[in-house]
Amino acid sequence: MGVQIVGRDDHAIDELGVPYVLSTWVGDREATPRDRVSIGRDVWIGGRSTVLGGVTIGDGALIGSASVVTKDVAPFAVVVGNPARVVGERFPSADQERHLDALSERLAHTP
């Protein structure tokens, strides 16, 4: 609930003599890597969190409520805060791949 995915460069801020509201909008220019957000499989994003453009959230990551994600989140990392920082891992490294395999197996048998 209330999760926001927010672009970093939705409007140009460096156009001389152009009011911000009339500046070049993201939809009127070529896309850049900072416009894309990638969210892996089995990711939990807590309520009221904000994810900024240009971020990749790895498989199995957990984002704590009201966090602001400003940089990439590693697979299975648990991050919280503003800006979000790593406070732990969801599973020990040895179990991460096993979790994804089991998840794929389970989903293969779900109608």
Q: What is the mean pLDDT of residues 71-100?
A: 96
Domain contains 17: no
- The alpha carbon of residue 94 and the mean position of all alpha carbons in its chain are separated, in whole angstroms, by 24
CATH number of domain containing 83: 2.160.10.10
Per the structure, the count of domains in the chain is: 1
Q: What is the radius of gyration, based on Cα positions, of the chain?
A: 17
Domain contains 95: yes
Query: What residues form DSSP beta bridges with 11?
Result: 25
d(CA 38, CA 20): 28
pLDDT in tens, 10-66: 999 999 999 988 999 999 999 999 999 999 999 999 999 999 999 999 999 999 999
Q: The whole model's pTM is what?
A: 0.89
pLDDT of residue 110: 82
